[in-house]
């Protein structure tokens, strides 16, 4: 069982060190996605052993991260909802992926073991639309012979804040259900047809854990952290993969980062018997033109450290590291995209 850095999904203070104190920034700051917060905390914990720079990261949700980087109140934003090339250009931003993870339906159904309940995408959408209101509804029981599903009302739990996890989940529901696509849509914040809201992944997990008969959605690391139950979702190939790092990796098998404008790439509902259908990358947002090149360089050094030394942490927390060739591609982009006065702030080291 892995260990989490305490306070990973609250405003946290993480420390790190530079190899050259004379040219280092004293602090760097970031804000945004809770999806990768446990991993960023572990990366910073390891970085602390060799550096002395403070990293202030506020895990406030992807929507907040986008707003804070656009307002220039942090050195980087973090979001599971990638911005399109047009959105990036409008704000003068650049984005790059760090790792891949999976979103899973979190459940609390008395008598139903974790990882046994099967929910096709269309059924999952109907639950979150409020059309299916009891756990023993025939639309659910037809897929779950042998499970003792109770005649218990379903309580839907969703995010109350702007969230990249919500973006991934609602994007998947829009693929699985035309009614969801037409009536609700995909975004980091939507008008939920039913349910109660919780802030951040931790808040949703806590509400599910406290509420018998509930269903929500969280990044898989939070299922492992809290011990709440989870449901299976049918793959595009009509199989029932478990949400594991291998299943998240299978979903990215065809990911073509080289031909993704602005690094905008979604890997939802990908083919493959072992591919988890609600999989996505998480991203970092930075300004292309930097007023403080030292801080910008330090941010990139931190994520370079994550690329180099953080794969063990990623695997331990059920994230999927980027392939080596994609990491190399991103390092080259950093040198090309992030500048100050026309000069690159980052020189790509050996991977």
Q: Are 44 and 138 within one domain?
A: no
Q: Are 222 and 137 within one domain?
A: yes
Q: Are 205 and 244 within one domain?
A: yes
Helix axes 324-337, 293-309, angle to 10 degrees: 180
Q: Are 152 and 39 within one domain?
A: no
φ, ψ of residue 347 in degrees (nearest 5): -110, 120
Residues 6+ apart with CB under 8 A from 146: none
Reported confidence tier of residue 27, pLDDT bands at 50, 70, 90: confident
42, part of any domain? yes
267, part of any domain? no
Q: Are 89 and 158 within one domain?
A: no
Digit-coded pLDDT (tens) for 170-187: 999 999 999 999 999 999
Tell me, what CATH number does 34's domain have?
A: 3.40.190.10
Q: Is the pLDDT of residue 209 over 70?
A: yes
Q: Is the pLDDT of residue 11 over 80?
A: no
Q: How many domains does the chain have?
A: 2
Q: Is the pLDDT of residue 19 over 70?
A: no
Is pLDDT larger for residue 55 or for residue 14? 55
Of 208, 237, 253, the position where a domain reaches its end is 253
Q: Are 235 and 318 within one domain?
A: no
The model carries a pTM of 0.89
Digit-coded pLDDT (tens) for 264-319: 999 999 999 999 999 999 999 999 999 999 999 999 999 999 999 999 999 999 99
At residue 321, the pLDDT reads 96
Choose among 25, 59, 27, 63: nearest CA to 40: 59
Digit-coded pLDDT (tens) for 310-342: 999 999 999 999 999 999 999 999 999 999 999
165, part of any domain? yes
Domain that holds residue 208: 103-253
CA separation for the pair 164, 82 (Å, rounded): 8
Supply angle C-alpha 79, 80, 81, rounded to 5. Answer: 85
Q: Are 153 and 245 within one domain?
A: yes
Q: Are 230 and 132 within one domain?
A: yes
Of 219, 253, 287, the position where a domain reaches its end is 253
Task: Point out the least confidently predicted range of 13-17, 31-35, 86-90.
Answer: 13-17
């Amino acid at each position: 069982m892995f260990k989490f850095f305490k306070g990973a999904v609250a405003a946290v203070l993480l420390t790190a060190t530079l190899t050259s104190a004379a040219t280092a920034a004293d602090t760097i700051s970031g804000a945004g996605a809770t999806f990768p917060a446990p991993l960023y905390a572990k990366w910073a914990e390891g970085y602390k052993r060799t550096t002395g720079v403070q990293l202030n990261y506020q895990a406030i949700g992807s929507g907040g991260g986008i707003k804070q980087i656009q307002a220039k109140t942090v050195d980087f934003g973090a979001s599971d909802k990638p911005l399109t090339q047009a959105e990036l250009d409008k704000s003068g931003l650049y984005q790059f992926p760090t790792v891949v993870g999976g979103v899973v339906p979190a459940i609390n159904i008395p008598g139903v073991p974790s990882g046994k309940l099967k929910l096709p995408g269309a059924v999952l959408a109907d639950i979150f639309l409020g059309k299916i209101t009891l756990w023993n509804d025939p639309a659910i029981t037809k897929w779950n012979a042998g499970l003792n599903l109770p005649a218990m009302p379903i309580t839907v739990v969703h995010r109350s804040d702007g969230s990249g996890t919500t973006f991934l989940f609602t994007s998947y529901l829009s693929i699985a259900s035309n009614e969801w696509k037409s009536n609700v849509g995909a975004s980091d914040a939507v008008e939920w047809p039913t349910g109660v809201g919780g802030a951040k992944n931790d808040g949703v997990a806590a509400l599910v854990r406290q509420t018998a008969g509930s269903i929500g959605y969280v990044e898989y690391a939070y299922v492992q952290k809290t011990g709440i139950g989870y449901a299976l979702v049918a793959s595009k190939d009509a199989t029932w993969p478990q949400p594991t790092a291998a299943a998240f990796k299978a979903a990215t098998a065809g990911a073509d980062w080289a031909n993704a404008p602005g690094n905008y790439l979604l890997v939802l509902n990908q083919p493959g018997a072992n591919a988890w259908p609600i999989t996505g990358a998480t991203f970092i947002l930075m300004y292309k033109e930097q007023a403080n090149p030292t801080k910008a360089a330090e941010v990139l050094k931190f994520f370079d450290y994550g690329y180099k030394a953080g794969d063990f942490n990623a695997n331990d927390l059920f994230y999927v590291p980027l392939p080596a060739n994609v990491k190399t591609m991103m390092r080259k982009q950093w040198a090309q995209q992030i500048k100050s006065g026309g000069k690159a702030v980052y020189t790509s080291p050996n991977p």
